[in-house]
Amino acid sequence: MTAIDILTKAKNGGYAIGAFNVAGIETLKAVVGTAKELQSPVILEASDGEVKYVGIKELAYLVKIQKEETGLPLLLNLDHGKDFETCKQAIEAGFDYIHFDGSNLPVAENIATAKEVVKLAHAHAIPVEGEIDHIQGSSSDRTKEDPRTIQQGGLYTDPEKAQKFVEQTGVDVFAGFIGNLHGIYAQEIRLDLNLLAQIEAALPHTFLSLHGGSGVNEEDIKKAVKTNVVKINVNSELRVAYKMTLQATLNATNEIAIYKLTTQAIEEVKKVVARKIRLFGSEGKI
């Protein structure tokens, strides 16, 4: 199955595929191991920092081996690729999906670069995700400002602008901002589901991607997966599970074999992945 086939199946089946950030062999094992146990398709993804840490080719090879070993529909996504060159490198390394994030660029530049990325990716039968409204927040620091103050200021996606962007660029997937902040906050995140419905109406033939999947109200997620949202990104909750568990392990043992220290952390990350897979409705959908 191609990446588009996997997304189409999710759209028709009323579920979404979890896009889980991986930062090395431990998180990769956790995500693939859970996907295998629950017989779920998954997207493995890496941000700029994660790609630099693991290595773009190394990551592509690790995922290729996992695909061969498990036979599962695993897709490797470049998460928030910031420029054409990085997207090109990922395509050439064997990634299955490209998220080009030009939301920090002037709109004309975002559109022009997205078009180039689409041209190259489509020549390799790879779908491209694009965005125009910078998804606020961060997945790398837990001591953050309350999101309610960040959310103010008309930063949410305008469906008409989204429609024009998709028309002009030819992206297959659109990532909107409907309150889905990156990161986890003191208050649970509520999504603007009315706005999501408007975006869907403006883009009936475009897949939708929901970023910021950690710390979001679960009822809102259940409603979102019934729309054209076929991909939900999750990072912070995995990182918290990993860090907290590793910290507890390190405090409790004199063990120095590195591979023994991460075992429990991997198990805790697996629990988060399993909960998300069930919430997104993709269990057994292979």
Going by C-alpha positions, the residue among 219, 205, 3 that lies closest to residue 98 is 3
Rounded to whole angstroms, the Cα distance separating 285 from 275 reads 15
Residue 110 touching Ca ion (CB under 5 A): no
**Any binding-site annotation on 99?**
no
Among 33, 81, 147, 215, binds Ca ion (CB under 5 A): 215
Among 40, 110, 236, 262, binds ligand G3H (CB under 6 A): 236
**Any binding-site annotation on 211?**
yes
Among 46, 117, 176, 182, binds ligand G3H (CB under 6 A): 182
Residue 214 touching Ca ion (CB under 5 A): yes
Q: Which stretch binds Ca ion (CB under 5 A): 63-71, 149-157, 210-218, 256-264?
A: 210-218
Given the complex with Ca ion, which of 110 and 214 has the nearer CB atom? 214
Residue 235 touching ligand G3H (CB under 6 A): yes
Give me the active site residues, please: 79
Q: Which stretch binds Ca ion (CB under 5 A): 5-13, 150-158, 208-216, 274-282?
A: 208-216
Q: Which stretch binds ligand G3H (CB under 6 A): 65-73, 88-96, 120-128, 227-235?
A: 227-235
Residue 211 touching ligand G3H (CB under 6 A): yes
CB atoms within 10 A of CB 124: 12
Residue 233 structure tokens: 């990104």
Residue 281 touching Ca ion (CB under 5 A): no
Residue 139 interacts with, from Ca ion, ligand G3H, none (CB under 5-8 Å by kind)? ligand G3H
In degrees, rounded to 5, the angle at the alpha carbon of residue 286 between the alpha carbons of residues 118 and 75 is 30
Rounded to whole angstroms, the Cα distance separating 10 from 173 reads 13
Q: Which stretch binds ligand G3H (CB under 6 A): 7-15, 123-131, 228-236, 241-249?
A: 228-236
Among 113, 136, 214, 245, binds ligand G3H (CB under 6 A): 214
Residue 245 interacts with, from ligand G3H, Ca ion, none (CB under 5-8 Å by kind)? none
**Interface residues toward ligand G3H, by CB under 6 A:** 21, 79, 139, 182-183, 211-214, 233-236
Summarize as ranges the residues that interact with Ca ion (CB under 5 A). Answer: 212, 214-215
